[in-house]
Structure 1
Amino acid sequence: MGNPVSESFLKSLLLGVIPIVLGTLIFGVILESYKSDLNFRGDIMKDYYFPLITKERQCSNLSITLADDFTQKIGLYNELIKRYNAGKDGSGPRLTEEYKSYLVDLLKKVSEYNSNSTKHSQELATCREELNQDYINIALVTGTIDEFHKYKKSLDDSLSALNVESQQKNDEIKKMLFGVNVDEIINEFFMAGDMTDERYSSSNKTDIAIKTVMPSLLKFFAFKAVIEYKANNSYLNLSESYNSVLEKEISSRYKRNWLSRILN
C-alpha cells in the first residue's frame, strides 16, 4: 500500500504541472498565430498595398500630364494662328531669321506636344493595365474580391460612357482632317511673312484651314483634356472607395487573432 503522503504530493504536483504545460503550449500556439498574423499583415503592406498606392499615383500623374498636353497644344496653335494673321495683314514683324527661328521653335513645340500626347497615352494605358492587375492581386490576397468587382463595375460603366463620347469626337475630327495636307499648310505659313512670294498669292490653303479646321481642332483638344480629367476622377473614385475597404481589412487582421481577443 502506498504512502498517503507521497500520493497526495504526486497528485498535487501533477495538478500543478499539467496546467503549466498546457498553458505553455496554448500560449505558444497563440503567440505563433499572432506572429503569423503580424507577418502576413506586414507582407500585404510591403508586397501589395504600398506598390498599389505607388501605381495609383503614377497613373493619376500620367493622366494629368496627358490632359496638360492637350491644353498646351491649344495655346501653341492659338499663338501660331495669331502670328500667321499678323504676318498676313502686315501688322506683324518682318520675317527675319530671328523671327523665323521663333516660328520654327513654335512648330517644334507643337510637334513635341503631339509626340508627348501619343507617348503619354500609351504609357497611361500600360499603367492602368498594371494597376488593374495590382488591384486583383491584393483583392485575392485579402479576400476582398467581391468588393473590388463592385467598385470596378462602377469604374467600367463610367469609362464606357466616356469612350463612346470620345470615339464620336474622334470620328468627327478624322473626317474633318481627311485630305488636309499639313506640309502645304506649314509651308504657306512661312510664306505669309513675305507678301512678295508669288506662291503665297496663288494659294489660300492656310486661310481655309484656319477658318474651317482650326476652330474644331482646338475644341477637340479641349474636349480630350476634359475627357481625360473625367477618366482620372473615375479612377480616383475607385481608389478612394476600394482603398478604404483594404485599409479596414488589413487593420482588422490585428483583431482576428487569439492573443488580441485575450488582451482585449
Structure 2
Amino acid sequence: MGPLLSDITVNGEVIPAATIAAEAQMHAAPKGKPGIAWRAAGRALAVRALLLQEARARGLTPQPASDGERAETEEEALIRQLLDEAVQPSAPAEEDVRATYDADPGRWRAPTLYEAAHILFPVHAGDADALAVERAKAEAALAELKRNPRDFDRLARELSACSSRDAGGRLGQIATGDTVPEFEAVLDTLAEGEIADEPVATRFGLHIIRLDARAEGAILPYDTAAQRIRAMLAKAAWARAARDLIEELADRAEVTGIDLKAA
C-alpha cells in the first residue's frame, strides 16, 4: 500500500494523499483492490489540476452557471469555459451518421421504460467525512436487504433523503435519460426485481437501487434515429478532442506520483 499513499504533484502543485483518498471513495473498484480506485482518483484530480492551470494561464475569469437547482463552483466554471474555448470538433458527416445506423439498427430504439425504486443517502461533493458516514449507513441497509429484500419499502421510508421515500422509494415510470448516467447504467445491468449489489455513487450521494420492471423501446427508423446518432457522434468527437487537449497538457507538464499516459 505504500505507493498508494503518496502525494501527487502537477507542475509543482501538490495534491495531498488525503485528498486522493477522499476522492477514491467515489470511484468503483473490486473488493480488495483499492489501488484501482486510488489511481482513478489520482488521475482525475491531476487532470483537474492541469485544466485549471491552463484556464488560469489563458486568463479566463470564472463565470459560474446555474441550472436553477445547483450553481457551478468557480473551479467548475473555469474548466467548462476552458473546454468551450479549446475543444471545438467538426460536426459529424451525414455519411457517417448513415453508416452508424446501418451497422446496427437494433441499437437505435425508442426510450426504454423502467419502474425502479431507490434509497438515497445524500453526500455533498468533497465531504469525505459525510461520505464515510453515509456509505456505512448504505452498506448496513444493503446488508439488511440481502437478508430480507421485502424490507425495501420500510427502509426507504425510514432512511431515504429523496421525496420518493413516501412511496417506499418507488420512482414510478422513468425513461432513458430521466436519471443521471451512473444510475441508469446500473438499471441496465439488473434483472427485474433485483437490487444492485453495491451502493451507487452519483452527484446526489449514494443510492441503493432496485429494478422492478423494464420495457425496451421499439427500433426507430433512420429518419427518427438520425438526430440521436448525430448527437452521439458529436459527443464522441468532443470527447476525443478533449482527450487530445489533456494529452497535450500532460505531455508538457511535470507530473509526479501518477502516470497520466496510462489514463
- Class of the TM-score when normalised by the shorter of the 2 chains: under 0.3
Which is higher, the Rg of structure 1 or of structure 2? 1
When normalised by structure 2's length, the TM-score is 0.21
The structure with the largest helix share of the pair is: 1
The structure with the largest strand share of the pair is: 2
When normalised by structure 1's length, the TM-score is 0.21
Q: Which has the higher relative contact order, 1 or 2, with Cα contacts under 8 A spaced 6 or more apart?
A: 1
